[in-house]
Chain A
Amino acid sequence: MSNFFTASVLVSTVASGIVLATPFLLASLGETMGQRSGVLNLGVEGIMLLGAFGAYYTALHTHNLWLAMVVGTLVGAVLGLVTAVVSVTLKAEQGISGIGVYLFGLGMSDLLFQKLVGTPTPVATLPPVKIPLLASIPAVGKMFFQANLMVYLAFILVPVLAFVLNRTTYGTNIRAVGENPAAADSLGVSVERVRYSTVILGSALAGLAGAALAGELGIFQSNLTQGEGFIAVALVYFGAWRPLGVMAGSLLYGMVAAIVLTWKTLGIIPPGASDLAAMAPAVLTVIALVVVARRFRQPSALAKPFVREA
């Protein structure tokens, strides 16, 4: 245990926790936008998988990681358009259509991978970008300012999206549509248009989350995300539909996972107990929520399609 509390180990654990938190954060920020406007998107996992494959395939053939991130985002946006058509225009049950998108993404990404790639070939991983001056601060620099661009992007998005939601007309419309679509509609806000925009934005972020994961790992494989998309949806509830809360949840999950991994490598957790230790992030997320016991209400119109009354 004592060798855990050395500076270098602690620093690298925090750094890897932040990296682990990034895909969760990107995806759950996107899901937050959709849910605030009243749309539950359970297909995040499938969108992440296809985004990850799109990015991986692009990186494999162009060796351009930035193009890969763009492709992953676009794949997400296209699936977001489908999700929006199905759940906003066609007013489908959102719980079930999301599971459909999940299954589609799970099968399709695997199929495309097997047919277009076959043998899992590593690609370059996202390079760390040192932020001038800040990166040279002892310990802190290595923890926070030597990550890759996706990590910075995800954390910059937190205040940006909080601002958009709380301080802009667009944000007001999103919240109105999520709380009382009929009232918003009567005030001339297009419920459909707002929900389309949030669902497409959210899915694009889910695609980017998948791309970031693939770029982080430098590989794709069948079911690469292993349930991370579902965890991202869960973290939206943890964060009570607020970008800052979602960030707290993502960091908690990522940090606990990183600590468990470090303890495993240091031998603090014996191999026989490694399975039990692996459940720690999930357990602690639930416990944290129970202890904090916040009573935030979810958007009233969540998962309810809007039908204009005559």
Chain B
Amino acid sequence: MERASNRRWRDLLFSWFALPLAALAALLIGAAMLAALGANPATAYRALLQGAFGSADGLIQTTIKAVPILLVGVGICIAFRANVLNIGGEGQIVMGGLAGTAVALALPGLPGPVLIPLVLLAGIAGGAAWGAIAGALKAYYNVNEILSTIMLNIVAVQIMNYLLSGPLVDRSFSGFSLIPQTRRLAVQADLPVLVHGTQLHSGALFAVLAAVAAYVLLWKTGLGFRLRAVGLSREASSYAGMPVKRTIVLALTLSGAMAGLAGAILVFGSASHRMVTDGTATGFTGSAGFNGIVAALFGGLNPLWTIVSSFVFGGLLVGGNFMQIAVQVPTALIVALDGLLVVFVVAIEYPRQRARRRLRAAAEPAHAGAEAARAAPEPARARSEQVPT
């Protein structure tokens, strides 16, 4: 009895403190790195926190940074629930940005209330098309989505480089030579600002709305049920008469649509109001296509929790820039720290869930014996089935 209660306490403490402790461990290693680089870790972390969350401006920057991460994350929630691993976020963001940009360049005369929805829809369409290609390849040609999305990322970047240094390039600049960017897009297509005098644009609102919509879609509609059912078991869904192939295409299309919207928002909410390339996807996306995956999984594949996790992620990235300025350490450190944090937190997740299951089982002895709960095959299996295959 004594031992059982000891274990209960241990489980309780573990389930509460495992995540903060994992994050702390990563941050401690980060502190050691900072010290090794000759910077004061306390100063550095204070700069990070203050830069990201310590002022109205910091919070706004963090919010803006979180928008594309959230949108990609919402798309990932949809795809993962249908058991599809979409790592094509980078390419889908790029195609969304390009589609929105092309529309704004083609129809510069339209009034804002028409043009803004139009460019955002174009972004959604661009990303959706890019996701749909991967979906169709998977459903009808048995091409694994990991392969196709990685390859489509490469294709999207080259299309961007071609368009922005050729057909869409800004020819109005005086000076010696052209810059790989479009001209300033129509002023009335700028995303409206939510708080006057700040950069906080309505993209943040659209992203949160998209997250809520995805939540409703997944859990309150028949379509969402179908997506999740296909995710749990393709065989069973097929047996139950669901159109499995079309559902897979739809999952990647919706996922791509979210990323595409992120791309359009990146263009029309940017400080420069143009689309610019440095030749890489990251230069435009800021790696939101990857960070969104991490945010979605931290958010437990729930679009609403992903709002929170992507905000924290945005804060880390924004704060990292402040840290670079405050203690003059390379931002590469933030990228490494980001990775460590992901590894530590994800590594502690399974032991934590196990402790929680044990606690739950102990609280309801009538339902399940402690021993059975310890083995816990059912939740473990359900969980691993979330991972795309």
Of B187-195, B236-244, B268-276, B348-356, which binds chain A? B348-356
Q: A286-B151, A303-B387, A309-B375 are in contact. Are A96 and B143 (CB under 8 A)?
A: no
The secondary structure that dominates the A interface is helix
Question: A100 — which chain B residues lie within 8 A by C-beta?
Answer: 294, 339-343, 346
A46 proximal to B (CB < 8 A): yes
**Is A286 touching B148 in the complex (CB atoms < 8 A)?**
yes
CB-CB < 8 A to B351: which residues of A? 90
Give CA–CA (A305, B70) in the complex, Å. Answer: 28
Cβ–Cβ contact A106 & B339, under 8 A: yes
Beta-carbon nearest neighbor of B166 in chain A:
A272
- Which B-chain residue is minimally distant from A306 (CB atoms)? B384
Q: Any chain A CB within 8 A of the CB of B150?
A: yes
Let me know if A289 and B143 touch, CB within 8 A. Answer: yes
**Smallest beta-carbon distance A22→chain B, Å:** 19
Verify B147–A107 contact, CB threshold 8 A: no
Among A97, A282, A309, point to the contact of B377 (Cβ < 8 A).
A309
Closest A-chain residue to B281, C-beta based?
A227
Instruction: State which residues 313-362 of B face A: CB under 8 Å.
Output: 330, 332-343, 346-351
For A238, give the chain B residue with the smallest CB separation. B147
> Could you say which residues of chain B place their CB within 8 Å of the CB of A237?
143-144, 146-147
Q: Which residue of B lies closest to A307 (CB)?
A: B380
Hey, which chain B residues are within 8 Å of A286, CB to CB?
A: 137, 143, 147-148, 151-152
Would you give the shortest CB distance from A262 to chain B, in whole angstroms?
A: 18
User: Nearest Cβ in chain B — how far from A299, in angstroms?
Assistant: 9
Nearest residue (CB) in B for A293 is B141
Closest B residue to A291 by CB, please name it. B141
Whether the pair A96, B294 counts as a contact (CB closer than 8 A) is yes
A268 contacts B by Cβ under 8 Å: no
Q: Is the interface of B mostly helix, strand, loop or mixed?
A: helix
Cα–Cα distance between A234 and B147 once the two chains are bound (Å): 4
Give chain A residues whose Cβ lies under 8 Å from the Cβ of B202.
none
Asked if A110 and B332 make an inter-chain contact with CB atoms under 8 angstroms apart, the answer reads: yes
CB < 8 Å: which of A86, A96, A105, A234 contacts B297? A96
* Chain B residues, CB < 8 A from A279: 154-155, 158-159
Q: How far is the CB of A20 from chain B (nearest CB, A)?
A: 15
A82 and B342 CA atoms in complex are apart in Å by 13
A305 CA to B353 CA in the complex, in Å? 14
A107 with B332: CB separation less than 8 A = yes
Size category of the binding interface on chain A: 35 or more
Identify which of B334, B343, B385 gathers the most chain A CB atoms within 10 Å of its CB. B343
Closest to B143 in A: A289
Residues in A with CB closer than 8 Å to B290 are: 99, 102-103
Contact partner of A303 (CB less than 8 A), chosen from B161, B335, B338, B388, is B388
Interchain nearest-CB distance for A242 vs B (Å): 14
Known: A90-B348, A91-B350. A304 touches B387 (CB 8 A): yes
Contact B336 A103 (CB under 8 A): yes
- A276 contacts the other chain (Cβ, under 8 Å)? yes
CB-CB contacts below 8 Å: A61-114 with B:
82, 85-86, 90-97, 99-108, 110-111, 114
Tell me, yes or no, whether B52 is within 8 Å of chain A by CB.
no
**A104–B150 contact, CB under 8 A?**
no
- Does A231 touch B at the CB level, under 8 Å? yes
Give the residues from 125 to 174 in chain B that come closer than 8 angstroms, CB to CB, to chain A: 137, 141-144, 146-148, 150-155, 158-159, 161-162, 165-166
- Among A203-239, those with CB < 8 Å from B are 222, 227, 230-231, 233-235, 237-238
A115 to B333, CA, bound (A): 11
Q: A103-B336, A106-B335, A305-B384 are in contact. Are A97 and B343 (CB under 8 A)?
A: yes
Residue pair A90, B350 in contact (C-beta under 8 Å):
yes
Q: What 12 new A-B contacts, CB under 8 Å, besides A93-B386, A279-B154, A307-B375?
A: A95-B293, A96-B342, A96-B346, A99-B339, A100-B346, A108-B336, A110-B332, A114-B332, A235-B147, A238-B147, A290-B137, A307-B376
Residues of chain A touching chain B, judged by Cβ–Cβ distance below 8 Å, are: 42, 46, 82, 85-86, 90-97, 99-108, 110-111, 114-115, 222, 227, 230-231, 233-235, 237-238, 272-273, 275-276, 278-279, 281-283, 285-286, 289-290, 293-295, 298, 302-305, 307-310
- By a beta-carbon cutoff of 8 Å, the part of chain B in contact with chain A is 33, 37, 85, 87, 137, 141-144, 146-148, 150-155, 158-159, 161-162, 165-166, 290, 293-294, 297, 330, 332-343, 346-351, 371-372, 374-377, 380-381, 384-389
Report 14 cross-chain contacts, Cβ distance below 8 Å, ordered by A residue.
A86-B347, A99-B294, A100-B339, A100-B342, A102-B339, A107-B333, A107-B336, A111-B333, A115-B330, A230-B87, A234-B146, A282-B155, A289-B143, A293-B141
